[in-house]
Amino acid sequence: MTKIGKKVANFSLPATGDKDLSLEDFKGTNLVIYFYPKDSTPGCTLEGQNFRDSINEFQKANTQILGVSRDSIKMHENFKAKQEFPFDLLSDAEEKLCRQFDVIHEKNMYGRKVMGIVRSTFLIDGEGVLQKEWRKVRVKGHVEEVLEAAKAL
């Protein structure tokens, strides 16, 4: 499991734009990885829009953004296009990265217990070291907090 102050194990997952992305692809750049439950749902859409709307500020802070959920690449491509996201979305259908970052937990959905992604964000520096994490994220004000942390690196 990934811990603050420790190097993040490399990963490789299919991404939008018909490519595979790995942590190695972002060497020398800070990286925000945000995990979200499902494409095109209200909270997930708003969170993605907030990252989209702050992309220039993140770029000034030498920080790239990746969104991750268990949805398929086809769903991600539609979501990304519709919302005009200037960053890639990774498909983690097998939950490898989700488990590496320990974001799969039991949740209560309409009275039923299900295993799902708990909205979480991680900030990794250009050397691949996890610098900060946010778990059980509330969307309102979250992106601003992540941006401040990225600027401080």
Catalytic residue selected from 33, 44, 124, 150: 44
44 is catalytic: yes
Buried-state track 126-148, b at ≥16 Cβ within 10 A, e below 16: eebebbbbbeebebeebbeebbe
Closest CA to 118 of 4, 37, 3, 2: 37
Residues assigned a catalytic role: 44
